[in-house]
Structure 1
Amino acid sequence: MNDEAEPPTFRAIADDLTQALRHYLERYVGDPAVAQELSQETLMRINQGLPDFAGRSSLKTWAFAIANRVAADYLRHPDRRWHIVELDEAAEVVDPDTAVDDKMVLGEMNACIRGVIDSLPDNYRAALVLHDLEGLSTEQTAEICACTLATAKIRIHRARQRLKEALSTHCAFYRDPENVLRCDRKA
């Protein structure tokens, strides 16, 4: 940090970043209630670590790195490991000819995509969520994930490849008459 600049207060950091951190954590773990708990844990760790913050990165990057570790620690716990289900074993999608509420269809598509994202290894999932869903730069993603820029680029690329392969193998995407993107499970 700059000697002339006044150190940021916890309140200012919390006001600026709470919503962004919660949003990231929700995308990372896929559960709003868990994301809320992890957000609180992240804020507690930020508060505890603030006196030692040396300013070698931006506050946002530092806070997201803490959130990333909190979420990874949570998911590593044996009681909380994701039960990976192959897409072939997942429940069948409702027949597209059946009148289904748009929100239900969208929810099923999101659940399918969420399942694929959840099946990615932690380091790929973190890189994909940070970069593609949260819109952070590759440099920020690398810093948060504690890896080199080249490694971050590789993780993002491989995560995208796995996501694309799983979706193209198991899903048929099309546009309905209203030009809305839809997805049906392939037989």
Structure 2
Amino acid sequence: MEEGKKEDILEKIMIEHGSDLVRLAFSYVKDKETAKDMVQNTFIKCYENLGDFRFESSIKTWLYRITINQCKDYLRSWHYRKVQAKSFLESTITSFLPSVEDKVITNTEQEEMKGFIFSLPDNYREVIFLYYYKSLSIDEIAGVTDLNTNTVKTRLRRAKQRLKVLIEEANVYG
């Protein structure tokens, strides 16, 4: 078959079947650009083998078969599996990691809370820090500070009350 005639036939085939083949390829590869690449490869194979086509089946079924084989080969390829594994790992890792916005919000909230705590008198700041940030029990705080257990409880309760008032006044956390 002469080149000019092959090109004319290919152009007609591309116009007539291009969008159907892209949809078919997309149903396999689930990516628009990759689907377009698969169809482009289909048209290259079509052009290369157009002279050998025996018209025992329709051009459409032949193109569908080539496209499906292209997609299956791609899905079996090392490149695709490597990209899928990388994508899976990234999505798994990022699902456990907070987003940038979450980090900014959390950091902002932590900074505001630190500001509230540092505005407390020393005796209240000390028990809040030891209780919430160092996770010491009331008895442990009493031992560290040489205070009576009831004094630690009272300071902790009063510190929480003051923090609550400060937070409400700032209208930060609701």
TM-score, normalized by length of structure 2? 0.42
Q: Which of 1 and 2 has higher RCO (CA within 8 Å, sep 6+)?
A: 1
**Structure with greater strand share of residues:** 1
Q: TM-score scaled to structure 1, two decimals?
A: 0.40
- Compare CA radii of gyration and give the structure with the larger one: 2
**Greater helix fraction, Structure 1 or Structure 2:** 2
